[in-house]
């Protein structure tokens, strides 16, 4: 069974940093690209970032480009999101999601974690 478990969320002040983690199990992690998708309270879904199976290619939404950094450690079956210069509009539930392909530009999003809540407020 595919399992994606996020952690690292919490309350953080504007301008500060936070690092999210996602522990994957139930599948061969390095066979798949991974993404982060977020959902602001009461709002819809927004793609944040994607990374290919070997970290060779990475992509970001314009809203987070230059502030967020995605990475993965295939030896630890883990995905990460380093979030810097956080803003109030980054407040959301952050989902770790699996893609159905090696490349983050291919396939589709097929499995979702339960999410970790990030609240940016002073």
Binding site for other proteins (CB under 8 A): 35, 37, 44-47, 50, 59-62, 95, 100, 105, 108-115
Nearer to other proteins, 13 or 42 (CB): 42
Q: How far is the CB of 61 from other proteins (least distance, A)?
A: 6
**Beta bridge mates, 74:** none
Contact 76, 29 (CB under 8 A): no
Q: How far is the CB of 15 from other proteins (least distance, A)?
A: 25
User: How far does Cα 70 stand from its chain's mean position?
Assistant: 7
Nearer to other proteins, 35 or 72 (CB): 35
What whole-number distance in Å separates Cα of residue 55 and Cα of residue 71? 7
Q: How far is the CB of 114 from other proteins (least distance, A)?
A: 5
What whole-number distance in Å separates Cα of residue 44 and Cα of residue 40? 7
Q: How far is the CB of 108 from other proteins (least distance, A)?
A: 5
Nearer to other proteins, 14 or 106 (CB): 106
Question: What is the DSSP track for 53-89?
Answer: TTSS-EEE-TTTTTTEEEEEEGGGTEEEEEE-S--GG
Nearer to other proteins, 44 or 122 (CB): 44
């Amino acid at each position: 069974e595919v399992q994606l478990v996020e952690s690292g969320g919490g309350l953080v002040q504007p301008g500060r940093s936070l690092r999210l983690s996602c522990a994957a199990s139930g599948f061969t992690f390095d066979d798949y690209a991974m993404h982060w998708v977020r959902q602001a309270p009461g709002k819809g879904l927004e793609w944040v970032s994607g990374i290919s199976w070997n970290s060779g290619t990475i992509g970001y939404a314009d809203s987070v480009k230059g502030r967020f950094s995605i990475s993965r450690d295939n030896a630890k079956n883990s995905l990460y999101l380093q979030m810097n210069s956080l803003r109030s509009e980054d407040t959301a539930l952050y989902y770790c999601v699996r893609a159905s392909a090696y490349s983050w530009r291919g396939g589709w999003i097929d499995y979702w974690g339960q999410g970790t809540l990030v609240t940016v407020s002073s």
